Amino acid sequence: MRLSSPLLSLLVNFLLGASWAFSFLGAIAFFFISIHFGIIYALLGAFLGSIPGLFLVLALEYFLMRQEKLDELRKQTKLLETLVTQTVA
């Protein structure tokens, strides 16, 4: 994903990777913590352990989507302004 600022792009991509890792590690940790109670509880624990990381992934993806929409609206506004100035002139 390429954002307008290279530093912002690097930061968001790093945070997205860290969120996926957090989700994976949470699922693994909760799976092994609750495996003693049975496989169903272990799978449920893995799902519950991955929820915070998945929430962070969802929040970052939402940010990226909104940023792309904002960039596209800026491009469209610039094009419309050039069209209006060409039509008026």
- Rg of the chain over Cα atoms, rounded to whole angstroms, equals 21
Domain count, the chain: 1
**Has residue 1 been placed in a domain?**
no
Question: Could you report the per-residue pLDDT of 4-53, keeping only the tens digit for each?
Answer: 778 888 998 999 999 999 999 999 999 999 999 999 999 999 999 999 99
Q: Is the pLDDT of residue 3 over 80?
A: no
Residue 6's pLDDT is: 86
The answer to whether position 70 is within a domain reads: yes
**Residue 42 belongs to some domain of the structure:** yes
Q: Which residues contact 28 (CB under 8 A, 6 or more apart)?
A: 46, 49
Query: Domain span at residue 18?
Result: 6-88
What is d(CA 60, CA 72) in angstroms, rounded to the nearest whole number? 18
Between the CA atoms of 70, 75, 81 and 86, what dihedral angle is there, to the nearest 10 degrees? -170
